[in-house]
Every structure is written in C-alpha cells, then in structure tokens.
C-alpha cells in the first residue's frame, strides 16, 4: 500500500492510504473474491463455444414471459488474473472491473486480515482504545452529488438503491431496501385503519365488536409483508451477488484463537475451542435472563406506583398516562444501556465472522427489547383485568393510551438517534475543525 502522511499543529497525524491496482488484483485472486461478470461478454462466449476445450456453442433463449432476468445477467464468479478482465463487468468509463466500493472492501480486508498477505491491523479495537481517532474512506463528490440528486426527488415511490449500493455497499443498501418495502406496505393498514379509528372515536368504545376483525387483518398483513419481503430480498441478493455470501467470509480482525493446521487442507488457521465459546454463551444467557427479570420488575414497579396514584384524586386515565410515560422513558433508557452490554457479551463470545457476531447481537437485542418493549402491553391485555386493575369498561382504553405514548416516544427518539444526533455530531465536529 502507498501511505501519505501529514502532521497538524495539534499533533494529530493524518495518513492517506492507497492500494495500487496490482495489489488489488493479487489479493482478489488470492481470496477468490466474487466479481460480477459482463452479461454481453458471457453471452458471446457461450454462443461461440471453445473448440480447443471441446465446448460446443450454447444458445440460451430469453423468455420475458417467465422472468425479466436475461440468462447471462447478474452472474458472479471468482476473480482470477489468468482470465481476461473483459469478462468482468466494469462501470462506464472505467479501465478495470474494480469499482470504488470493491476497492474499498479489498483494501479493508488487506488491512485487517492476518493471512494471505494482510496487515493484521485491529482497526475496530484501535478505534475503541483511541489509538486511532478515526478510519474512513474519502467521499467522491461527483458520485455523492449524483446520489443525492436522485434521492431528493419527490414524490418518490422507489429509492435509487443500485446507485446507493455502488457507493455505500450492499449492507447499507439492503437496509434501505427493507425500509422502502416496509413503508410501501404500511400504506395498506394506514388506509384501512382510518375508518376503524374514526368509528372507535365516534362510538367512544375502545372494545368495539368490529376491532377483532381489524386485528385479524393486521396479523394477515404482517405475514404477507414478511413473505413478500423474503421474495424481494432474494431477488436483490441475486442482482447484487450476495447469495450465500457467508461461505466466502473471512475471519473477523478481532477473532482470537490459537494457530493450528487445518484438518481439511493443512493450511494455517485460527482455532477457538467450541467448549470455551459455549461457556461464554451460557454466561451471556444467564446475564440476559437476569436483565429480563430486572425489566419485568421495573415494569411491575411502575404499575404498583400507578395503583398508588389511582387511589388519589388523579383519576384512572391520568394515572395510566403517567405510567405509560414512565414506561416509555424506562424502555428507551434500558434499551440504550443494554445495547452496550449486548455488544460486550458478543465480543466476549469471540465469533469467527462478522455475520456470526451480528447474529449473536441481534438475538440478544431481540429477546431483551421484546420483553422490555411489550411487558406493559402484556400486563394490560391479559393480567390487569384479573387483578382488578381495570375500570368498568375494561383496559382497552388504557392499552390504547399506552400504545400511543410508547409508540410516539419510540418514533421521536428513534428519529433523533438516527437523524438528529448524527447531524448535530457532524455540525459540532465541523465547527471545531474550522476553528483550528
């Protein structure tokens, strides 16, 4: 790699790294990096055949009535320097098949990998310990402006996902692909739910006999939304070459283990005893269960306090509102704290790949947040009435108040965390940098 460095007056050192193309090609070949093939070139090669290799010509007809994908589109194969690079897809005006995002991926692998000529740098560990203050790729202003010009067009039903993927990578683009799908599907219950909600307000009856039908509709909608997403996700994975990407994943830079000879091909690999990991996972389970019990205790305490308030002159509706506000604050605070605990527990389990690490994180966060977010709903829906903690007309109004406050709080806080805080952080850092 080429390195260019400079030192500022405050002793901060900036290092610009650049991977030469011969190194990019060599490393992609060593790790069998999957690259997209040029559909037109593949079609021509199939039609011509190869007499020297005794391969007859192949003519595959495109059937638009069966699939909109052409037979030679979206095919990915291992990169090899022995093959003419014209076989691989390249962006318009580019002399080689390695796009910016592909070169960044390979450069990052070269920096972090401990094998195949990698530099074995623990970048994430160095960032956490403040040995590194930052590590990031530089923007391409022309491409960034092109994405923004497409993104900000309104009204927009579909996002420019391919543009986004080619700049920020498949993982980030897949998130927005799901959000696009989710928002589009939300239009259905939004439209159907309006007359139901108007009827509830008009009748002032939160236990109206038609509500179970709407509940059944929502359950059916949720199943359809997920099933249609599975189909869409597979299509996107086909187009982006991410099907079965786990099989080609390299070890995490933070993966710890003893170096041994592989029992398959004799190569040097890192091994971490499964029994040791299982012990760490068991400790994680105990920690999560303990925290879940703590959450249940906190929610129970909130409703014990609500009963105390109910006996005063506050009133049932106001006491439920106060309890819901307290519950909403408790949910956000404990979710925030638990995210750090879940990360620490997953790091301790020492997973080999990023996917295994993220799967472990998702499992921990799901179970905790499920109990943390819905414990109060479960209590109001199934337990409160049997304990005599409901007014004469039932707990449905209290459940509605609880849902509105908690959902509204999560919506506001979620947008602040996802949009507000990053923007304020950017603005503050930019202001501090311009002062220097």
Show which of 85, 111, 138 is a domain's final residue. 138
At residue 234, the pLDDT reads 94
Show which of 229, 245, 261 is a domain's final residue. 245
Q: Is residue 322 part of a domain?
A: yes
Pick the closest to residue 316 from 409, 208, 389, 404 (CA basis). Answer: 389
Q: Do 150 and 128 share a structural domain?
A: no
d(CA 287, CA 343): 13
Q: Do 287 and 378 share a structural domain?
A: yes
Q: Is residue 64 part of a domain?
A: no
At residue 203, the pLDDT reads 86
pLDDT tens-digit series, residues 182-196: 999 999 999 999 999
Q: Is residue 66 part of a domain?
A: no
Q: How confident is the model at residue 280 (pLDDT cuts 50, 70, 90)?
A: very high
d(CA 338, CA 343): 8
Structure tokens belonging to residue 167: 């700049």
Q: Do 337 and 426 share a structural domain?
A: yes
Q: Do 153 and 228 share a structural domain?
A: yes
Q: Do 366 and 277 share a structural domain?
A: yes
Q: How confident is the model at residue 413 (pLDDT cuts 50, 70, 90)?
A: confident
At residue 176, the pLDDT reads 93
Number of domains in the chain: 3
pTM of the entire structure? 0.84
Q: Do 329 and 392 share a structural domain?
A: yes
Q: Do 295 and 434 share a structural domain?
A: yes
Segments forming the whole domain that contains residue 344: 272-436
Q: Do 191 and 106 share a structural domain?
A: no
Q: Is residue 174 part of a domain?
A: yes
Q: Is residue 159 part of a domain?
A: yes
Q: Do 367 and 220 share a structural domain?
A: no
- Return the beta strands (E) in 280-400 as ranges: none
pLDDT tens-digit series, residues 48-60: 998 888 889 998 9
Q: Do 338 and 192 share a structural domain?
A: no
pLDDT tens-digit series, residues 287-331: 999 999 999 999 888 888 877 776 666 666 677 788 888 888 888
In the predicted structure, residue 117 carries a pLDDT above the cut 70: no
Pick the closest to residue 287 from 358, 372, 344, 356 (CA basis). Answer: 344
Higher pLDDT, 51 or 387: 51
Q: Do 277 and 223 share a structural domain?
A: no
Task: Determine contact, residues 277/349, Cβ cutoff 8 Å.
Answer: yes
Q: How confident is the model at residue 281 (pLDDT cuts 50, 70, 90)?
A: very high
pLDDT tens-digit series, residues 210-262: 888 999 999 999 999 999 999 999 999 999 999 888 877 888 878 888 888 87
Show which of 104, 138, 172 is a domain's final residue. 138
């Amino acid at each position: 790699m080429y390195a260019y460095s400079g030192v500022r007056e405050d002793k901060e050192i900036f290092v610009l790294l650049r991977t030469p193309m011969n190194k990019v090609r060599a490393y992609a070949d060593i790790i069998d990096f999957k690259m997209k093939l040029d559909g037109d070139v593949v079609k021509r090669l199939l039609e011509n055949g190869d007499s020297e290799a005794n391969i007859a010509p192949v003519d595959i007809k495109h059937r638009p009535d069966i699939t909109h994908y052409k037979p030679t589109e979206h095919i990915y194969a291992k990169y090899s320097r022995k093959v003419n690079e014209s076989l691989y897809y390249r962006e318009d005006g580019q002399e080689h098949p390695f796009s910016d995002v592909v070169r960044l991926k390979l450069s990052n692998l070269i920096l972090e990998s401990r094998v195949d000529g990698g530099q074995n740098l623990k970048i994430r560990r160095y960032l956490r310990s403040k040995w590194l203050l930052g590590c990031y790729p530089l923007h391409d202003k022309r491409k960034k402006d092109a994405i923004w010009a497409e993104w900000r067009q309104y009204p927009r039903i579909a996002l420019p996902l391919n543009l986004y993927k080619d700049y920020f990578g498949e993982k980030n683009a897949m998130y927005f692909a799901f959000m696009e799908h989710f928002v589009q599907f939300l239009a259905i219950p939004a439209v159907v739910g309006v007359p139901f909600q108007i009827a509830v307000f008009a009748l002032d009856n939160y236990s109206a006999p038609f509500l179970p039908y709407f509940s059944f509709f929502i359950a059916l909608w949720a199943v359809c939304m997920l099933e249609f997403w599975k189909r869409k996700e597979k299509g996107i994975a086909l187009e982006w070459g991410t099907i079965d990407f786990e099989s080609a994943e390299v070890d995490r830079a933070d993966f710890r283990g003893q170096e041994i000879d592989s029992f398959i091909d004799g190569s040097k690999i890192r091994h971490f005893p499964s029994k040791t990991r299982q012990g760490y996972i068991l400790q994680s389970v105990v920690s999560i269960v303990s925290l879940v019990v703590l959450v249940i205790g906190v929610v129970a305490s909130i409703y014990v306090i609500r009963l105390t308030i109910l006996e005063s002159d506050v009133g049932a509706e106001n006491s439920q509102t106060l309890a819901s506000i307290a519950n909403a604050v408790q949910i956000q605070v404990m979710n925030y704290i638990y995210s750090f605990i879940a990360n620490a527990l997953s790091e301790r389990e020492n997973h080999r790949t990023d996917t295994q690490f993220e799967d472990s994180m998702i499992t921990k966060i799901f179970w905790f947040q499920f109990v943390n977010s819905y414990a109060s709903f479960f209590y109001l829906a199934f337990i409160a009435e049997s304990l005599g903690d409901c007014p004469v007309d039932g707990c449905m109004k209290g459940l509605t108040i609880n849902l509105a406050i908690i959902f509204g709080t999560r919506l506001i806080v979620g947008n602040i965390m996802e949009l507000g805080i990053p923007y304020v952080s950017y603005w503050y850092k930019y202001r501090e940098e311009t002062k220097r």
